[in-house]
A and B are shown apart, each in its own frame.
Chain A
Amino acid sequence: MNELIQLNLSSQTGRKYWRSLNQLADTPEFRQWVEREFPEGASELLDSGSRRTLLKLMAAGFGLAGLTACRRPVEKILPLSKGVEGYVHGRPLHYATAMETCGIASGLIVECNDGRPTKVEGNPRHPFSLGATNAFQQAAILDLYDPDRARQVQKQGVKSSWAEFESWWLEQSAKLGDGSGLRILSARSTSPSLEALKAEIAKKYPQSAWVEYEPVSFDRVTEGARMAFGQALVPHYRFEQADVIVSLDCDFLGLDTLSAQPVKQFAARRKPEDGRELNRLYSIESNFTITGAMADHRMRARASDVASVALALARELNVSGAELNVLGQNSGRQQKFLAAAAKDLMAHRGRSLVVAGPRQPAEVHALAALMNQALGNTGQTVVYTRPPFAAGDTLGAVKKLAEDLGAGRVSTLVVLGGNPVFALPADADWNALFRKAAVAALTFDENETWKAALWQLPEAHPFETWGDVRALDGTASIQQPQIQPLYGGRSALEIAALIAGREQRRGYDIVRSYWAAQWGAQAEQKWKKALFEGVIDGTQFPAVEAKADAPRVLAAVQGALKPAPAGIETVFYPSWHTLDGRFANNAWMHETPDPMTKLVWDNAALLSPATAKKLGVKDGDMLELSAGGRQVRCPALVLPGHADDSISLQLGFGRSACGRVGRGVGHRVEGLRAAANFWFGPAEARKTGATYKLVTTQEHHTLIEPITGLKRHNIVEEFSLEEYRHRAEHGKHEEHPATDLFGGFDYSKGYQWGMAIDLSACIGCNACMVACAAENNIPVVGKEQVAKGREMHWIRLDRYFSGDEEDPQAVMQPMACVQCEKAPCESVCPVAATVHSPEGINEMAYNRCVGTRYCLNNCPYKVRRFNFLNWNKDIPEIRKMVFNPDVTVRMRGVMEKCNYCVQRIEEKRSQAKAEGRRPIRDGEIVTACQQACPADAIVFGNINDPESRVAKLKQQARDYSALEELNTKPRTTYLARVRNPNPELV
C-alpha cells in the first residue's frame, strides 16, 4: 500500500496527487490498510470524536510516503438537495411530545440535531412534567437507537411483511364472527384515540375481551377509592399545600409516581429560606426508598404490617368515633411514633396528607382516604378525579384470560406492547398458553413475548409515531414523532385500527381525526396549538366530589384485613434500572446506580442487617426464595434501614430474550410473583451456598472512618430546623483567609459561573446523572469496569448513611466537578491540559491531555474520570446517532470531567452576542443536570451578579463548601440538608 502511494507521489504533481489520495482514501482497500496497520486506531475512525487519531495515523502512514502525504483525508460536504422548513444546518429543533410509562404520562420536549432526536427535556407546560424529567424519560432516547430492537415483521421467525400480516389478519378476522375467540392483551394506555378504537372493536366483536396489564400498576389505588367512595378514582395529592405528610409505604418521590410533579411540589416545601414553613414527612415503609431518605421520621415495617399501622393511625386520629381494634401489636416505639404523627396531623387539619403506596391493598387506600377526610384534607391537599385509564380488577381479567386460553376458547390473541409472557403473574405457564392460540404480538424488542408469538410485529418507539396520551389528571397531549420509524415499526394505535377494520390506519390520521371530532370547528388552530404547546387545553378531568361513609367503609376494612403472618416475606418493587424490564436493554440505566444500594448492572434481594444475620448471608450470597411452590434465586444485598423479615426484589431482570446489553443481566424474580403475592406475601428464604458478584459504585456507607471511628466533617452538613434558624440569625460564618502559593485570577469582572446544590431538596433520583450522560456523550463501561472503579459519570450521587445501622438516616449528595478556583488538578498537569477560564470554569482540553492521571490523584473530590480504554470502540453505527454534536466523544487515555455544560454556555453566549451583544440573562443558561432535576435542587448562574438566583443562594446561612479547609474555593457549593424533626420524637 505504501508503495502504491509512493508511486502516485513520484508520478504526479502535488495537486494531481490530491485526486489520487482522494480516490485512495475512499477505497475499501485503503480502509483495510488502515485497519491492518493500526487496528486500535482504525476502530476509532468511525467514531466522530477521535478523527484526530485518523489524522495522526494518516500522518504516520503517509509520512513515509513523502511530505505532501502528511495532508488530511478528504471529507465530503453533503448539503440537502431541497430545503426542509425551519431547518438550519447546525441549529437544533425542539418538538413537544409526550410519553407514558405504566399508564403515567408526562409531556416532553425533544431536541433534534440534523434530524436526529438527541436529548429529552421536560415540557414546562405539562402539569406532570413542569419542565423536569425522570431518569427513565432521559434514557428513552437511547432505546430509540437500540440496534437490538424488533426490526422486522416475522411469522414464527420467518421474514415477512406488514402487507402479509394485514392480509393474514383479514382472513383471520373473517373467522372471528362475534369475536368470542378474540382477546386483546395490551399494556396500560391512556390514549383517547385508542379508547375510541377500543369501543369500535367492542362494537365489532361484542364477545371479544380487551385485557390491560401492567406489571407495575396502580389498580390498588383506584380500587381503594372504589372501596371508600364506591367509584374508581385517582387521588391527586397537592404536596406543596401539605405541612405534614404521612406516607404509608408510598415511594411518592421515587418509583411510585413516575412523574416529576410530586417531587417538584414536595421539594418546594423543603427550602427554609423561601419563608414557607418546612413540611414534615413521616414515612412508614419496608424497603429503604429515597422517600424514606427524605423523611424526617421513618418507621420500618413489613409491607404486610403497614395495614395494621394504618389502622392504628386511624384509631389515633379517631376517624369514625367508633373503637378500632388494631391487628397485631405495634411496638411501644411505633405507638409513640404514631401518636406523635397523629397529633401532628390533627394540628394541621386541611394542611396535612396521608398517602398510601400502590403496593398496599385497597383497604389501606380506603383508610388513607378516610383519614384525609377526617383531617379535612379532601378537597384541600387531596382531590379526586376519574382515572385516565380503564381501572378494574386486572388480575381477575388476567386469570380469566389464562383459563380461556387453557380451555382453547381463544382463537386469536393480539398483544399490543409490553412483555406479558415475561411479566404476567406466574400462576400460569404463559409460554405454553400462548401456543394455544394464534398470537400476534406487537413488541418493542425481540422479547419473551415476541419469541412466543405466531406473528412477530415490531413496535414503534414513542418518538417515532403519532399518538396521544392523558396525564393522570386527564390532561391530554399529542405524541408527535421526531423521526421516521427506524425499523418500520408501528404503534398499538395502528394495529388497533386494523382490528377495528378502519380504512385509515396511519397513526397521524387516527389521532388527527379523533381530535378533529372532539374539536369540531376551529380544529386546525387547536391542532397546531396542541402540537406547539404539547398539552391540550380543557382536557383536564374535573375534580370529583368524593365523600366516604366512614363507619360502613371501616367495617368493610375491618372485615377484610387479617393480621399478617409472622416470618419472612417478599416484596416486589419496580427497578431503578429497568423499571419493569422495559429498559432492560438500556445501558445508561444499567450503569446508573440504584440510589440507595448503589448497585449497578444487577438486581438483588435487599434485606436488613438483622435478617441477613438470621439467614446467615452477606452481600452476594445467593438466596433461594420460594412461595406457593415456586422458586427463584437472587443474590442477597444488605441494606441498612430495611425492615426486618422482609426481602425487597426488583422486577425486570434476568431477561432471557433480550438485546445484547440486557441479556442475562440480573435475576428474574417474576417467577415468584403470582396473583396471590402480586406485590408482597410470605415466602421461604434459604441460603444456597452459591455466591454471585454484585457491583456497587460506592463501597462505603457512612461518613464514619473505619479504624478511628471519627466522623468526617465538611462533606455533608445537616442541621435540624432549630439549628438552621440559629445559624440564620448569626449569619454565615466567616471564611478564614488562607495564603495561596500561586497568584489568583481576577474574578471581579465579567461572568463568573457558579452552582448551588440544595441537599435539602435533592431526593437522589438519578435524573441528573442520566441527563448528564445524554448531554455529554458519557460512555458506558459495563459491570466489570465499574467493579474496577472506572465508571465515567461526570456527576454522581454520593449516598451517606448516618446513625444506627439498623435504622439509619440517609442523605444524598450530587457530586460533580466543583470547579475549584484554586484547583489542585491544574497545578499538577504537566501539559496544561486542565486550566482555568477567566469565568471560573476549570476547563479540560481533551486534545491536550496526555493522560498522566496526576490530576485525578490530586483531586480531593475524585470527580475526574479517565478513559482507561476506548469505551466508544464497539458502538454500533445506529447507536452513534444519539451523540450530542456539540460535545467531543473522548478517546482512550484522556481525562474528562464536568465542565458546567460549557457547550450550553457558549451557545447562549454566541446567541446573546448575535442579539446585539446583550448580556446573558440569569437563568438563560441551564445545565443538563439542572434542567432535568425535578426537585430544583441545582441552580446555576453568574455569581458576579448579586441579583442572580445562585448568588442569592450562596448568601444563605446554610451554604457551605465541601472540604472547605483545603482552600480549593469550589464554585459549586452546597446548601446544607435541613431536617424538620418532630420535637416530640427527638
Chain B
Amino acid sequence: MTVFSKQFDTKLRLAAGAVVVLLGAGGAIAAYLFHPRQIDTGYTPVQPVPYSHKLHAGNLGMDCLYCHTTVAQSNYAAVPMTEVCMNCHVRVKEKSPKLQPVRDSYASGKPIPWVKVHRLPDYVYFNHRAHVTAGVSCVSCHGRVDQMVEVRQVQPLSMAWCLECHRNPAPHVRPPELVTKLDWQPEGDPAVLGAKLIREKGIHPPDNCSACHR
C-alpha cells in the first residue's frame, strides 16, 4: 500500500515554506495594523451638537482659550460650560434646531454629553498647564482643529509618540503667547527657534516613568 506519491516530498517542502512565509507576513501586517497610528488616529465620533471648530475657531477666529479656559491653570483644558455657548447663542442662531440640546442644557442645568475624542491610555496623567506654559502649541497634539468641522484625532497619543517630543522638543516649542495660534509658522526652521527658547527657559522635558505615570 502506498500513501505518498513520488512528488510528495517536494509538495511537503513547498507547503512548509508557504506556512513560514504566511506566518511572517501575517505577523508583519498585524504589527502594522494594530499600531496606534492605525488604531487611534482618525477617530471622529459624532457629537450631540454638530459644533464646528472650523466655523468658530477658523472662520470666526475665536481663540481656543475663549472656551477652553482652564488650559493654562489645570491638567484639563475644560470643555466649556453650556453658559459659555449661551453667551453668544442667546442672540446668535437663538432659534436654530441644531442648538436645541444646548438650550435644553442651559434651561435644565443638565450637562451636554460630549463624546471624548482624545483619550490617553490609562495610568497616564497629562498636564495641559505644564505643556502650554512651556510653549507647546495645541496644534502639536490636536492638529489643525481650526480646520475641522468635526474634531478628529490626528496623533496616535501613544507613549512612543509622546517620547519622540519629550526627547526632542525643539521643533514643537514656540513662544507661550502663540500656543493658540494654530497656523503660526516661524521664519525659518522651527527647531532653531525652539532650541533657542529651550536654552533660554531651561526647558528639559522629563522622560522618566513618574513624569506621567502615578
Contact = CB atoms under 8 A, between A and B. Distances in A.
Q: Do chains A and B touch in the complex (CB under 8 A)?
A: yes
Given A82-B109, A88-B78, A914 B214 contact: no
A81 B106 contact: yes
Interface string B68-88: 001011111011111100000
B33 A49 contact: no
Contact of B210 (A52, A83, A89, A906): A906
A79 B43 contact: no
Contact of B79 (A79, A839, A888): A79
Given A71-B39, A88-B73, A89-B70, A22 B127 contact: no
Interface stretch (B4-12, B91-99, B187-195, B200-208): B200-208
Interface string B26-52: 000000011000111001111000000
Interface in A1-37: 15, 18-19, 22
A528 interface: no
A688 interface: no
A65 B214 CA distance: 33
B121 interface: yes
A837 interface: yes
Contacts of B115: 22, 74-77
Contacts of A843: 208-210, 213
Interface in A830-849: 835-839, 841, 843-848
B59 interface: no
B139 interface: no
Interface stretch (B17-25, B128-136, B163-171): B128-136
Given A50-B122, A74-B115, A837-B209, A887 B214 contact: yes
B75 to A, nearest CB: 4
B14 interface: no
B122 A55 contact: yes
Contact of B33 (A15, A67, A899, A903): A67
B214 A903 contact: yes
A909 B210 CA distance: 13
B110 interface: yes
Contact of B73 (A76, A81, A91): A91
A788 interface: no
A917 interface: yes
A945 interface: no
A955 interface: no
Given A79-B111, A80-B111, A88 B43 contact: no
Chain B interface residue number, banded: 35 or more
Given A67-B33, A71-B43, A91-B73, A79 B114 contact: yes
B134 to A, nearest CB: 7
Contact of A906 (B81, B134, B214): B214
Contacts of A698: none
A18 B81 contact: no
Nearest to A776: B214
Contacts of A921: none
Contacts of B33: 67
A825 to B, nearest CB: 14
Central interface residue in A71, A78, A80, A88, by most chain B CB within 10 Å: A80
A15 B113 contact: no
B184 interface: no
B40 A71 contact: yes
A906 B211 contact: yes
B83 A83 contact: yes
B74 A78 contact: no
Contacts of A51: 122
Interface residues on A, range: 35 or more
A913 interface: yes
B123 interface: yes
Contacts of B105: 81
A76 B114 contact: yes
Nearest to B44: A15
B211 to A, nearest CB: 7
Nearest to A16: B46
A648 to B, nearest CB: 42
A909 B82 CA distance: 32
Contacts of A836: 208
Contact of B82 (A52, A82, A837, A847): A82
B13 interface: no
B112 interface: yes
A79 B209 contact: no
A709 interface: no
A568 interface: no
Interface string A53-84: 00100000000000100111011111111110
B73 A78 contact: no
A90 interface: yes
A803 B209 CA distance: 45
Given A81-B106, A837-B210, A841-B210, A75 B121 contact: no
Contacts of A207: none
A838 B210 CA distance: 11
Contacts of B110: 81
B45 A848 contact: no
B71 to A, nearest CB: 10
Contact of B76 (A72, A90, A909): A90
Which of A72, A90, A847, A909 has the largest count of B CB atoms less than 10 A from its CB?
A90
Interface string A69-111: 0111011111111110000111100000000000000000000
Contacts of B70: 88-91
Contacts of A55: 121-122
A846 B124 CA distance: 10
Given A79-B112, A88-B74, A886-B214, A838 B208 contact: yes
Given A838-B206, A847-B122, A81 B109 contact: yes
B210 A914 contact: no
B78 A79 contact: yes
Nearest to A84: B81
A846 B201 contact: no
Contacts of A914: 72-73, 129-130, 133
A78 B81 contact: no
B101 to A, nearest CB: 11
Contact of B119 (A15, A72, A903): A72
A910 B130 contact: yes
A902 interface: yes
A902 B211 CA distance: 9
Contacts of A78: 111-114
B171 to A, nearest CB: 20
A899 B82 CA distance: 39
A76 B48 CA distance: 11
Contacts of A90: 70, 74-76, 78
Contacts of B201: 917
Interface string A865-880: 0000000000000000
Given A15-B44, A847-B213, A79 B81 contact: yes
Contact of A846 (B106, B113, B123, B134): B123
A836 B210 CA distance: 10
A985 B114 CA distance: 75
Contacts of A71: 39-40, 43
A837 B206 CA distance: 9
Interface of A: 15, 18-19, 22, 49-52, 55, 67, 70-72, 74-83, 88-91, 835-839, 841, 843-848, 886-888, 899, 902-903, 906, 909-910, 913-914, 917
Query: Which 7 residue pairs of A and B lie closest in terms of their CB atoms, listed nearest first?
Result: A90-B74, A52-B122, A78-B111, A847-B123, A837-B208, A90-B76, A75-B116
13 contacts: A67-B38, A74-B115, A75-B115, A79-B78, A79-B111, A80-B111, A81-B112, A90-B76, A838-B208, A839-B208, A845-B209, A902-B214, A906-B214
Given A81-B109, A90-B75, A888-B122, 9 more contacts: A18-B46, A22-B46, A79-B80, A79-B112, A837-B210, A838-B208, A844-B209, A914-B72, A914-B73
Interface of B: 33-34, 38-40, 43-46, 70, 72-76, 78-83, 105-106, 108-116, 119, 121-123, 125, 127, 129-130, 133-134, 201-202, 206, 208-211, 213-214
